[in-house]
Amino acid sequence: MKYIFNPSFKSFEKQIRNCVNNFDKQGTLFGDGQRNKIKLFDLENKTINIKSFKIPNLINQFAYKYFRKSKARRSFEYANKLITNGIGTPQPIAYAENFKILGLENSFYISEHLPSELTFRELVQNPDYPDHENILRQFTQFTFDLHQKGIEFLDHSPGNTLIQKRLEGKYNFYLVDLNRMNFHDVMDFDSRMKNFHRLTPKIEMLAVMSDEYAKLYDKKYDEIFNKMCFYTNDFQSKFRRKIARKKKLLFWR
């Protein structure tokens, strides 16, 4: 197993290696663990979050060994890039990769565990969530900041932004599930609007986000709203077709 550590956590190397080595037997499961499995471990006065990525298929095992960076490595490197750019994400601690003859088998991303009051999903599911519109507007400001810094978070979806209340009426936002990102010198208008497409199908939420984005960007509200709705509707249509195809293929279940 190959490990790369954040220098700030190098003194905890032995304990962290022990957590990874005993991942299947120890730790507290966080989430449903259906695809990738996340467990929480105590590390002195901290709680750390260890994400074990699903073993890739044979083609990807080979690709991750010779041609592409693993999801664990990308998560670690992207987290460091986000922090360098002043974007919130749980503190990266280390990543580990276990290579066999054919290619990558196991990989792990280790970070500090960050408790949060909610994710964006709660805003979608509960329109009466306290301070709903204010949080949504601050989330839009956070996304605008990402775009201004050329960061395209490809998994910008409801469960991947943790939200913490900082002061009365003020919130902090932290990105998780980091292995898919693009970094640009400049993000164009369409790329910015498409980056909202997985967040919510609710028109009223798109309207608030469009209104807030228009205050920050050199486009009128109508242009932003129409483009945001276009990409959202396109995503929703493709998603519904995908579900319908699955139902036909798996009719026997």
Do 179 and 142 contact (CB within 8 A), yes or no? no
Cα–Cα distance measured from residue 103 to residue 65, given in angstroms and rounded to the nearest whole number: 5
Task: Report pTM.
Answer: 0.91
Domains in the chain: boundaries: 2-112, 118-243
Do 15 and 47 contact (CB within 8 A), yes or no? no
- Side-chain-side CA neighbours of 63 within 13 Å: the count stands at 9
Residue 205 has pLDDT above 60, yes or no: yes
What pLDDT is attached to residue 34? 74
Q: What is the DSSP letter of 40?
A: E
Q: Give the percent of the chain with pLDDT over 90.
A: 81
Average the pLDDT over 207-228 and give the result. Answer: 97
**CB neighbours (10 Å) of residue 143?**
23
| Minimum mean pLDDT range among 71-85, 196-210, 229-243 | 229-243
pLDDT by residue (tens digit) across 112-137? Answer: 999 899 999 999 999 999 999 999 99
Cα–Cα distance measured from residue 125 to residue 72, given in angstroms and rounded to the nearest whole number: 30
CATH number of 2-112: 3.30.200
Same fold, 2-112 and 118-243: no
Residue 154 has pLDDT above 60, yes or no: yes
| Minimum mean pLDDT range among 52-61, 136-145, 179-188 | 52-61
Task: Select the more confidently predicted residue: 223 or 55.
Answer: 223
pLDDT by residue (tens digit) across 14-58? Answer: 999 999 999 999 999 998 767 899 999 999 889 999 999 998 888
pLDDT by residue (tens digit) across 69-112? Answer: 999 999 999 999 999 999 999 999 999 999 988 899 899 999 99
Q: How far is CA 221 from CA 42, 192, 195, 208, 224, in A?
A: 47, 14, 17, 10, 5
CATH number of 118-243: 1.10.510
Query: What HEC string does 155-201 produce?
Result: CCCCCCEEEEEEECCEEEEEECCCCCEEECCCCCHHHHHHCCCCCCC
Average pLDDT along the chain: 93
Cα–Cα distance measured from residue 212 to residue 191, given in angstroms and rounded to the nearest whole number: 17
Comparing CA positions, the residue from 232, 227, 209, 221 lying closest to residue 141 is 209
Do 20 and 111 contact (CB within 8 A), yes or no? no
Residue found by looking up tokens 């080595």 in the block: 21
Query: What's the token pair of residue 213?
Result: 């984005």
